[in-house]
Amino acid sequence: MRQFDLRPIDLRPTWLVFKREFAAYFATPVAAVFLIVFLALAAGLTFFMTGFFDRGQADLSGFFFWHPWLFLVLMPAIAMRLWAEERRSGTIEILMTLPVPAWQIVLGKWLAAWAFAALALVLTMPIWITVNILGSPDNGVIFTSYIGSWLMAGAFLALAAAISALTKSQVLAFIAATAVSFLFVMAGFDLVIAAVRSWAPPVIVDAVRSMSFLGQFQRITEGVLELPSIIFFVSLIAFCLWLNVLAIDVKKAA
């Protein structure tokens, strides 16, 4: 029998888990290494691969273009330890026998990873300043692109966190999360769409196409139809967090 509690929900446990997890990133040099790798890759790809200076355009599309590909590898790396490490060390038994609903712990952990991703994005902001010095870009589009990038990072993280809850191996969590994320990124590509079209009705084809991180993110960076794409990422995050709670329940009964 479930009773509905009409008091406002006390989010203190979420906040406590968030604080602990966020601090855990900085307990080892891993955080610093990660941030350096992310910044070096983002800058390197933007300047050398997409010819930031040669294009003669004051915008950051050459920078945001790489985000889905960078996140594909880097977000699973941030999220892989969230649950797998708890399982490996056994601390999950302490965590999951505290008088706190599982969803608050799931939410707190994901928020910590998402905040870390925000930090990584904030550290790229010199490139935004640079483009403003060199010309007069559409700062509104850049701002929404940053928001869109952060939301996409959140979706990658939620997906990887849910997968991390199923294993005690961080390596396995990383590989599985990257593989699943790759499908989401590639969903919009003709290669994938053609393969689906050969057997599925148009509704399914459209559905698969709309699941593409690449397509959704492009719409945000182009400054068109942002809202549906934002809703897409937010609902995918919510769905993956729900899957994460489910994964923990399934493991309990296993």
Partner 1 sequence: MALVEARDLVKRFGSLTAVDGISFAVDRAEVVGFLGPNGAGKSTAMKIISGFLDPTSGRAFIEGYDSQTQPIEARRRLGYLPEGAPAYADMSVSDFLGFIAAMHGLSKRQANDRLAELVERIDLADVWNQRIEQLSKGFKRRVGIAQALVHDPDVLILDEPTDGLDPNQKHEMRELIRSIAPQKAIVISTHILEEVEAVCTRAIIIAKGRMLADATPAELLARPHETELAVTIATADPRKAIEIISTQPGVSKVYVAERVDGVTRLLVHAPQNRPTAAELAGILGRSNIAVSEMFLKRASLEDVFREITNGSRN
Beta carbon nearer to partner 1, 13 or 137: 13
Contact with partner 1 (CB under 8 A): which of 8, 29, 56, 99? 99
Tokens 């940053």 correspond to 146
Which of the ranges 42-50, 85-93, 170-178, 190-198 carries the binding residues for partner 1, by CB under 8 A?
Answer: 85-93
Q: What share of the chain is helix, strand, coil (3-state, %, to 5)?
A: 75, 0, 25
Contact with partner 1 (CB under 8 A): which of 9, 12, 40, 224? 12
Query: With the C-alpha atoms ordered 21, 23, 27, 29, is the resulting torsion angle positive or negative?
Result: positive
Binding string, residues 24-63; x marks residues near partner 1 by CB under 8 A: x--xx-----------------------------------
Distance CA 23, CA 19 (A): 6
Amino acid at 67: H
Q: To the nearest whole angstrom, how small is the minimum distance from the Cβ of residue 74 to partner 1?
A: 21
Q: What is the DSSP string of 198-219?
A: TTS-HHHHHHHHHT-HHHHHHH
Q: C-alpha angle 46/235/157, rounded to 5°?
A: 50
Beta carbon nearer to partner 1, 20 or 55: 20
Contacting residues toward partner 1, per CB under 8 A: 12-13, 16-17, 20, 24, 27-28, 89-91, 93-94, 96-101, 252-254
